[in-house]
Amino acid sequence: MTDSPVTLITGGGSGIGAAVARRLLDAGQRVAVTGRGEERLRGFADELGHPDGLLTMVGNAADYDEIQSAVDRTLKEYGRLDTVVANAGFATHDTVAEGDPAGWTEMVLTNVLGPALLIRASIDALKETRGRIVLVGSVAGFVHGPGNVYGATKWAVTGLAENTRRQVTEFGVGVTLIAPGRVETPFWDSYGSLPPGHLFTADQIADSVVWAVEQPAGVDVNTVVVRPIGQPN
């Protein structure tokens, strides 16, 4: 256990991040997860029975000091960092012509600035392990939706992933963009209902993340766009 790989996941107390954390813990990794809500993180740790390999930290992924201290604390607790997963994100589910701009600042900061801050804060540790960066983007970062401001944040994540890869591959660090279609998670709570059609489970997307992370050394899966059957766009 003391030498097992370590993964830090932002927004890992629910949904896709929590499913990835569970999968990696089952595979013997040590996992640190962040989130803004202490209660949510406590609930997640309670559900798993507070295993030694799980560290939960309250913190905002869009705040550089907080994300740097999450990286530092992970290194202090576990001594190494092999993978970071920039997963924290949300949608205001509104449009540029009719939506409420009050919600956009936090969404843009979390979805776009957050992954960049995580990369900046963790890159030195990842160079040491020749580790991996996973960005959770979206199909909405590959297709255009009418007025979709959230989609624009995910287009930025698509760009950040490849821009990052072109720099950090020189350091031996891998970069994977996972771009899911619709997944049944608390992401949809603020939408008011689940969208129509068949949705992935969080575990199904976690499988894609874990598959990419567990590639042999020297293999870098760059882009995974994965939709549930029946999702046309």
Ligand X SMILES: NC(=O)c1ccc[n+]([C@@H]2O[C@H](COP(=O)([O-])OP(=O)(O)OC[C@H]3O[C@@H](n4cnc5c(N)ncnc54)[C@H](OP(=O)(O)O)[C@@H]3O)[C@@H](O)[C@H]2O)c1
User: Which of 1/194 has CB closer to ligand X?
Assistant: 194
Q: Where are the beta strands (DSSP E) in 24-108?
A: 30-35, 54-58, 83-86
Check: CB of residue 32 under 8 Å from CB of residue 67: no
Least Å distance between CB 1 and ligand X?
Answer: 26
Cβ neighbors of 189 (< 8 A, separation 6 or more) are none
Active site residue 150: yes
Partner residues linked to 176 by β-bridges: 134
User: How many residues are listed for the chain in this entry?
Assistant: 233
Distance between CA atoms of residues 86 and 36, nearest Å: 14
User: Which of 11/131 has CB closer to ligand X?
Assistant: 11
Least Å distance between CB 144 and ligand X?
Answer: 15
3-class DSSP state of 146: coil
Least Å distance between CB 135 and ligand X?
Answer: 9
Residues near ligand X, by CB under 6 A? 10-11, 13-17, 34-37, 40, 60-62, 87-90, 110, 136, 138, 180, 182-183, 185-187
User: Which of 15/131 has CB closer to ligand X?
Assistant: 15
Catalytic residues: 150
